[in-house]
Each structure stands twice: as C-alpha cells, then as structure tokens.
Amino acid sequence: MELLKLLLRNTLRHKLRSVLTLTGIGVAVMAFALLQTVVTAWHAGVEASAANRLITRHAVSFVFPLPLAYRDRIAQVRGVNKVTYASWFSGVYIDKNQFFARLAVDSETFFDVYPEFVVEREQFEAFKRERNACIIGVDIARRYNLDLGDIMLIEGDVYPGQWEFVVRGIYQPKDQTTDPASMMFHYQYLEERVRQDMPQRSGEIGWYIVRIDDPDGSASISQEIDQLFANSRAETKTETERAFQQSFLSAASAVITAMNIMSFVIIGIILLVLANTMVMSARERTHEFAVLKALGFSAGQLFFLIAGEALILSTLGSALGLLVTVPAVEGFQTALPKGWFPVFYIKPETIVLGCVSALVVGLAASLIPLRRVLSTRIVEGLRHVG
C-alpha cells in the first residue's frame, strides 16, 4: 500500500461529488477556452500581420480612395521593396448575410506581397490569363461547393451592377492565422467597368500594401511616404499592417476586454468550485487527518494527500473541458453567421493556459483545507464529529 492509493481512493470516495466537481471544472474550462478562442479570432488579423508590410491609406479615412498614380512614387522610396494595391469590392454573393472579403487586386504583385495565400502555379497562370478570373479561399470553395471553372455572380453595391467571375484558383492558407475565406480578382477587370460606367472613379484604388526590406525602418519609411503626398488632394497615412489591423479592433476593444476578463473570472469560478469541494472533503475527514497525524504522518505527506486530490480533480476536469472545447468551438463557429470569424481556431497557448490554470487552481484550492488540517491540534481533530 502506498500513500498514492489512499489519495486515489479518497478522490473517488464520494463519486457523485467528484463527478459533479469534474463536470463543473470541465464546463468552466470549456467556457474559458471558448472565450479565449473568440478573443483570438478577433485578433486574427493582427496576428496574421507581417512585420515587413506597411499599409498606405487615405489620411482622412480608409473609405476614401487613393490615386493609382501614387504607386510609382511610393515604389521609389528608399527601403521599399515592392508595392501592390487593393480595392474593397464588397457586393452580395447569394446571401447578403454570408460575408467574406472580396478584393480587386493587382494580380501581378499582390500574391508576391502576400505569400500566405498559397495558389498552385497552374491555377495562378490560368487566373492571370483570364480577365474576369478570381481566386477564392478554400473555405469559400467548401462553403459554396465551388470548383475551378465555376461561375460566381455577384451583385455589386460599392460598384453597382452584375459582376461575373470565373473561379480559376483556390488558395490554401499558409497557416491557421491566415484568412481562408477571401476572394481576389483582377483590378483591371474592375477598372474597365468603372471607366465605362463610373468614369469619375477611374484610376482609384483602396489602399497600398508596401513591402519593405527592413521592418526596423517602418517608421521612417512611413513618414517618408506620407511626406510625398502632404498637402495633396489625397494625403496619405502609412502605418504597419499590425497597426492598421488594430485600428479595426478599436471599436470592439471594450467587448474584447470584457470577454478577456470574463474568461479569467471563469478561472476564479473553477477555483471556488474546487476549493468548496476540498474544504468539504477535508472537514469530513478531520478525524482521519488527526489519526494520520497521530500515527506520525508529516505535514508534507498531508499536503500530498490534500493537494494531490485537488490536482487530480482539477487536471481531469481541465482535460475533460479541453476535450469538449474542440466540438464546442466547431459548434460555435457553425452557429455564427458565415464570415464573422474567418480565422477561428484554438490556439496552443489557450490549451497551455488551461492546463497551467488547472495546476495553479488545484494547488490554490488545497491551501485553505491544508491550513485547516495542519492547524487543527490532534486532540481536537480526534474529538471532531464529522
């Protein structure tokens, strides 16, 4: 017989209570991981930002266009490696609630600057050859059952009219932080229609993406670019891609902060649930702990019994919660309107945080009963009626 056997038997002594505690911890850990995953999803754009990319947009607002003519001047700035551009096309495809990004891009340069959109060479060549071709993310292809050669009809809003695209490429995201649900098509296709139907908007693009040689030079290069267009008809604001993405989050920052706080409140709830169980268990066993102390068991051995039990419960509960988190996250994503969170995955850090929290909570929950057991005199413990 080892002390471990007593520890395990104690853990299972009140099966219903242990199961309820495990379930409570499991549900709380799942809620924690789910909230953390939502927070991660909000920050996905920021996470996916490259350090060597700058965004140049209209100084007043992102919604105002910039002249295409700026491209060559930006390209001449020292430290600039490549310049590409994109325009927000928007539009409605099948269902206006099914959102995904639709961008008119410079097909010659865009995919060089964004290597995280991985397109097969043949598909990319086919895309470049066809005027109204588009490349879609693998998620879009899956969601709408689209394949190469299929037609996408989009009702334009920012650029009114019926727009017809042919799927010539399906990109794979390079990693989990890359948006797998975007659509890119030739800016030239857009420009031709705009020149014809909305000539006053011809020669305009949404924003520039500037690839630089050295990320450390981003501040000076940004300043230099903006200096080029100071006091012009369309002044620019250049910032790192990360700062650009973060500016989109600022409106929702209060909600994100609240969710973040809530997720840690849940850890506190786990602590209370477990501490309550451990206090009850220790109180019921006051007599037994007094006997163990009388027999000569040390404080360290009593710590092993109490903290061990708390750690077993918290670790098993957390494992259960993290196990349930996988289907819960999938279910949550399914329940949301498509496109809300194009990047939605459980970060390894969330799992690590869940596990570490379990350990910390397990130890913390055992402190009160441990203190009580150690401070109770043997003779008082033996007199205790549980």
Binding site for other proteins (CB under 8 A): 1-3, 5-6, 9-10, 13, 287-288, 291-299, 377-379, 382
Q: How many beta carbons lie within 10 A of that of residue 299, not counting itself?
A: 11
Q: How far is the CB of 301 from other proteins (least distance, A)?
A: 8
H or E segment and range at residue 101: strand 101-105
Q: How far is the CB of 379 from other proteins (least distance, A)?
A: 5
Q: Give 13 or 371: the residue with its C-beta nearer to other proteins.
A: 13
Please, are residues 141 and 173 in contact by the beta-carbon 8 Å criterion?
A: no
Query: How far is the CA of 27 from the CAs of 267, 305, 335, in angstroms?
Result: 11, 25, 19
Please, are residues 168 and 152 in contact by the beta-carbon 8 Å criterion?
A: no
Residue type, 331: G
Q: How far is the CB of 3 from other proteins (least distance, A)?
A: 6
Q: Give 261 or 299: the residue with its C-beta nearer to other proteins.
A: 299
Q: How far is the CB of 4 from other proteins (least distance, A)?
A: 10
Q: Give 30 or 312: the residue with its C-beta nearer to other proteins.
A: 312
**Closest-CA residue to 360 (of 261, 271, 260):** 271
108-123 burial: b if 16+ Cβ within 10 Å, else e: ebbbebbebbebeeeb
Which residue in this structure is represented by tokens 């700026």? 70
**Closest-CA residue to 369 (of 295, 290, 307):** 307
Q: How far is the CB of 367 from other proteins (least distance, A)?
A: 19
Exposure of 315 by Cβ count < 10 A (0-12 exposed, 13-18 middle, 19+ buried)? middle
Which residues on adjacent β-strands are paired with residue 166?
Answer: 133, 151
Q: Give 39 or 278: the residue with its C-beta nearer to other proteins.
A: 278
Q: How far is the CB of 294 from other proteins (least distance, A)?
A: 5
Q: What is the rounded distance in angstroms from the CA atom of residue 307 to the CA atom of residue 242?
A: 44
Q: Look up residue 234 and give its two tokens.
A: 């369309």
Q: Give 197 or 380: the residue with its C-beta nearer to other proteins.
A: 380
Q: Give 10 or 325: the residue with its C-beta nearer to other proteins.
A: 10
Please, are residues 86 and 167 in contact by the beta-carbon 8 Å criterion?
A: no
Q: Give 230 or 295: the residue with its C-beta nearer to other proteins.
A: 295
Q: How far is the CB of 307 from other proteins (least distance, A)?
A: 18
H or E segment and range at residue 56: strand 53-58
Q: How many beta carbons lie within 10 A of that of residue 252, not counting itself?
A: 11
Q: How far is the CB of 378 from other proteins (least distance, A)?
A: 4
Q: Give 245 or 277: the residue with its C-beta nearer to other proteins.
A: 277
Q: What is the rounded distance in angstroms from the CA atom of residue 80 to the CA atom of residue 96?
A: 38
Q: How far is the CB of 308 from other proteins (least distance, A)?
A: 14
Which residues on adjacent β-strands are paired with residue 210?
Answer: 54, 83
H or E segment and range at residue 345: none
Q: Give 5 or 233: the residue with its C-beta nearer to other proteins.
A: 5
What is the number of helices (H) and of strands (E) in the chain? 15, 12
Q: How far is the CB of 385 from other proteins (least distance, A)?
A: 10
Q: Give 6 or 259: the residue with its C-beta nearer to other proteins.
A: 6
